[in-house]
């Protein structure tokens, strides 16, 4: 028996998320340096401005959470700017004369993925 | 030389101040464009565009400038040109802006475009000029350029490259 003709629609998502989320941590060579959220954002924007200029310093970058004690934050950036942000964080060397480095802990296009990390899973 | 692909940007320096064009020098302009690219596109932009960058042609009377850059990074240069707001020479600052007229792959295509553009500009000048002496001078230039156009159309198959008609000095 011939099957009745069915109409179907196939939807393909190539890359559904327009934002990427990064969990980063700032480490100083000498401990005891504190930054508040505004200074942290200023540091990120100046890193982008150094490497990629004023055009890319204006990328829509958001700090979703920030902890002053551990200097760790969750950032959100549009997907086209992820490579630029990551490379400018890699090349950032100092803040107000003090040596520092950004450690990128996790990157994901989904915010939910940053809540758990299979490396830190305790079985 | 297929591995050395370049883009040539034909620009016009437009300014209210007539002294601005006279103080155009290729080193001044080259430094200005490089500084602007460094400000707008950062270290990455400055380094990637500085390799093949040069000012190839400069005409102080008409303010026409021909810039050369690499094909892979010509968009960085092109997008930084609107951020140029002044020309600085010997301590004097003249406000101006750069109009991009044409982007070409070779100097010859830019030259052909420039000849066409100059002919159209001459006709526009003829419409707008007020002084009788100026009008005669421009009419002479227009007729000369028409004769040169006929001659260069006949010689198009050979590699003459055309000639630029003389400019009416403002």
Residue B90 burial class via C-beta count within 10 angstroms: exposed 0-12, middle 13-18, buried 19 and up: exposed
What would the pLDDT profile of A69-94 be if each residue is shown by its tens digit?
Answer: 989 999 999 988 999 999 999 999 88
Please tell me the distance from the alpha carbon of residue A111 to that of residue A33, in angstroms, as a whole number. Answer: 29
| Shortest CA distance from A84: residue in chain B | B44
* DSSP secondary structure, A8-50, as one string: ------S---SEEEEEEEEEESSS-----HHHHHHHHHHHHHH
- How do strand A61-67 and strand A98-108 relate by DSSP bridges? unpaired
Return the higher-pLDDT residue of B21 and B65.
B65
| Contact between A52 and B79 using a beta-carbon 8 Å cutoff | no
What would the pLDDT profile of A46-71 be if each residue is shown by its tens digit?
Answer: 999 999 999 999 999 999 999 999 89
Closest-CA distance, A116 to chain B, in angstroms, reads: 35
Q: Which of B37, B42, B79 sits opposite A49 (nearest CB)?
A: B42
| Contact between A54 and B40 using a beta-carbon 8 Å cutoff | yes
| Contact between A53 and B44 using a beta-carbon 8 Å cutoff | yes
Determine contact: B128 vs chain A, CB below 8 A: no
| Shortest CA distance from A55: residue in chain B | B40
Which two tokens mark A18?
Answer: 């327009």
Which two tokens mark B29?
Answer: 């302009």
Mean of the pLDDT values across residues B141-145?
77
CATH says A19-110 is which class? alpha beta
Determine contact: B41 vs chain A, CB below 8 A: yes
Determine contact: B68 vs chain A, CB below 8 A: no
Determine contact: A51 vs chain B, CB below 8 A: yes
The DSSP call for residue A4 is: P
pTM of the model: 0.77
Closest-CA distance, B60 to chain A, in angstroms, reads: 31
Residue (of B123, B117, B121, B88) closest to B104 by Cα position: B117
Please tell me the distance from the alpha carbon of residue B96 to that of residue B65, in angstroms, as a whole number. Answer: 14
Q: What is the pLDDT of residue B166?
A: 38
Q: What is the pLDDT of residue A1?
A: 56
Domain ranges in chain A are: 19-110
Domains, in order of start, for chain B: 6-105 (3.30.70.3250)
User: What stretch of H or E contains B96?
Assistant: none
Sequence-distant (6+) residues with CB within 8 A of B4 are B52
What would the pLDDT profile of B91-128 be if each residue is shown by its tens digit?
Answer: 788 888 899 999 999 999 999 999 999 888 888 888 87
Please tell me the distance from the alpha carbon of residue B167 to that of residue B27, in angstroms, as a whole number. Answer: 24
Mean of the pLDDT values across residues B139-161?
66
| Contact between B43 and A55 using a beta-carbon 8 Å cutoff | no
Distance of alpha carbon B127 from the chain centroid: 23
Q: Are A114 and A108 in contact (CB under 8 A)?
A: yes
pLDDT classification of B162: cutoffs 50, 70, 90 = very low
Q: Are A7 and A83 in contact (CB under 8 A)?
A: no
Beta bridge partners of A73: A24, A66
Closest-CA distance, A89 to chain B, in angstroms, reads: 14
Phi-psi region of B87 (alpha: psi -120 to 50; beta: other; left: phi over 0): beta
What would the pLDDT profile of A94-117 be if each residue is shown by its tens digit?
Answer: 888 899 999 999 999 888 888 877
- Provide the sign of the torsion angle of the four alpha carbons B90, B91, B93, B94, taken in this order: negative
């Amino acid at each position: 028996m011939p099957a009745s003709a069915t109409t179907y629609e196939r939807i393909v998502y190539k890359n559904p998320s327009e934002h990427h989320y990064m969990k980063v941590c700032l480490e100083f060579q000498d401990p005891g340096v504190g930054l508040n959220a505004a200074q942290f954002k200023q540091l990120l924007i100046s890193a982008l401005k150094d490497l990629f200029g004023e055009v890319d310093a204006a990328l829509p970058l958001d700090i979703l959470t920030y902890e002053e004690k551990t200097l760790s934050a969750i950032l959100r950036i549009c997907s086209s700017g992820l490579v630029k942000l990551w490379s400018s964080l890699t090349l950032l060397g100092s803040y107000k004369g003090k040596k520092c480095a950004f450690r990128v802990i996790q990157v994901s296009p989904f915010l939910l993925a940053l809540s758990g990390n299979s490396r830190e899973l305790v079985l | 030389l297929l591995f050395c692909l370049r883009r040539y940007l034909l620009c016009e320096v437009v300014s209210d101040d007539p002294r601005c064009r006279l103080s155009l020098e290729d080193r001044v302009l080259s430094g200005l464009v490089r500084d602007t690219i460094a400000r707008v596109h950062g270290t990455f932009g400055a380094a990637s565009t500085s390799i093949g960058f040069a000012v190839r042609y400069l005409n102080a009377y008409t303010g026409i400038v021909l810039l050369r850059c690499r094909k892979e990074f010509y968009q960085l240069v092109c997008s930084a040109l609107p951020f140029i707001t002044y020309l600085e020479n010997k301590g004097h600052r003249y406000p101006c802006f750069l109009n991009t007229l044409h982007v070409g792959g070779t100097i010859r295509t830019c030259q052909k475009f420039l000849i066409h553009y100059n002919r159209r500009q001459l006709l526009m000048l003829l419409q707008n000029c007020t002084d009788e002496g100026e009008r005669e001078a421009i009419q002479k230039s227009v007729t000369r350029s028409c004769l040169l156009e006929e001659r260069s159309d006949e010689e198009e198959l050979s590699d003459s490259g055309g000639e630029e008609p003389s400019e009416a000095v403002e």
